[in-house]
Homo-oligomer: A and B are copies of this chain.
């Protein structure tokens, strides 16, 4: 049987945790409650003591799963980008390379609220919301390069690579595929953040479809220069 629907697809770098939180009920409750607490009071107010109480366990046990708060948020962030990568992989199956595929890819990044019901222990909409707000906190100046080498941001990079490849399929000679991909991914997330907290920095009203339109237009204009639109390459 295909492993696609399996949770294996969401496995993140095992160096991020001490004991795999997906391997036990307590672990799953920890993830679930982390999302709820972060969504409610934010990163700064999350403590392992508070998390333990919410998940009906003890501080000691939390420390047996994650080294510290930073590792926990890194784990969640990895999980989030893995989830997006997975959705993108599934969503693009059997779609011919070309502009339509790009459109679909952007749509997947934007429509996070149409979340699949496969995952019970993590509220995906809340997770997406808090990533919009807190994702900048996963980089620690003195550690970012080391942690990058350890693969602590691998799922984020994977998603970017997927997007880059969709772009490259349309025009293998486009000189800035990675830059464009990361600009789109970062941009979509920023616009969600802005539309929620800084409406003056955006013209987005009906969030999902407007953001989608904007970044689809952007990517098409950046890639297709002289070529006629709708040309699926190849």
Contacts and interface: CB of A to CB of B under 8 A. Distances in A.
Q: How many copies altogether? A: 2
User: Chain A interface secondary structure, helix, strand, loop or mixed?
Assistant: helix
Contacts of A140: 42-44
B142 A42 contact: yes
Interface residues of A, number: 50
Nearest to A194: B182
Contacts of A157: 198, 200-201
25 contacts: A42-B140, A43-B140, A133-B139, A133-B141, A135-B136, A144-B197, A145-B197, A148-B198, A153-B198, A157-B198, A176-B203, A176-B214, A179-B194, A179-B202, A179-B203, A181-B201, A182-B190, A182-B194, A182-B201, A183-B187, A183-B190, A183-B191, A183-B218, A186-B186, A218-B218
Contacts of A166: none
Contacts of A133: 139, 141, 144
A123 to B, nearest CB: 15
